[in-house]
Amino acid sequence: MNYVRILVLASVLTALAACQPKGATTTAAADTSPTLATVNGAAITQNFFDFYIKAISGKKPAELTADQQAQALDNLIRANLVAQEAQKDGTEATPDTADMLVLTRLNVLQQAMSEKYLKDKKPSEQELRAEYENQVATLPKLEKPRAASRVYRGETPRRTLARSRRTAAEVAAGPTKERATASSSLPRTRRP
């Protein structure tokens, strides 16, 4: 699971890196934190590395072992190399890749704006309850299990079906004294 998160984040970072027009200043260029690695002239700074670690693991870099930090840095370097190669061979210019890069950029900006907007806004208990009820109302209705779906041990399917039909009919008819004593004589089975 951790490798999947790393792979997804590396691909997003690659896509975002490829979104930058040539000659544009990146946040890494404006970043004054120490440079951990340089990949063909592109710096990987401490602040960017910390952001990457938090994004893939949800932890601070200090909470990871030295091996985990080294592996994360290797993954980040690899992602930069792949992004640079994609820029060289024109992969980023293909229509599908270009559209995917634009879509990824839009999603990131939308999420950032949503977080900025919701930062100081907390929903009330009534608003939460109303939204919960709305979401529950849109869920598909589940069918109740039918009596015929029960299986009794040691019985043939035909016998089980007959018992289930009889039981369903009795339930529909309502309780009577005769049925109450008859149902207590049914064999009981243990559930695993």
The 3-class SS string of 1-67 reads CHHHHHHHHHHHHHHHHHHCCCCCCCHHHHCCCCEEEEECCEEEEHHHHHHHHHHHHCCCHHHCCHH
Taking 70 as the threshold, does the pLDDT of residue 179 lie above it?
A: no
pLDDT classification of 31: cutoffs 50, 70, 90: confident
Query: Whose structure tokens read 């960017």?
Result: 48
For 29-35, what is the mean pLDDT?
79
Task: Quote the pLDDT of residue 140.
Answer: 85
Higher pLDDT, 171 or 92: 92
Share of the chain above pLDDT 70, in %: 59
d(CA 60, CA 120): 24
Q: Dig out the tokens for 14 from the structure.
A: 């690659």
Q: What is the CA radius of gyration of the chain?
A: 30
Average predicted confidence (pLDDT) for the chain: 77
pLDDT score at 121: 86
The pLDDT confidence band at residue 77, using thresholds 50, 70 and 90, is very high
pLDDT average, residue stretch 16-41: 66
pTM to 2 decimal places: 0.49
HSE-CB for 48 with a 13 A CA cutoff: 24
- pLDDT at position 22: 46
Whole-angstrom distance, CA of residue 133 vs CA of residue 75: 43
Give the model's pLDDT for residue 12.
52
pLDDT tens-place string over residues 110-140 = 999 999 998 888 889 999 999 999 999 998 8
Is the separation of the CB atoms in 131 and 137 below 8 Å? Answer: no
Tokens of 30: 């404006």
> Hunting for tokens 């016998």 — which residue is that?
159
pLDDT value, residue 89 = 93
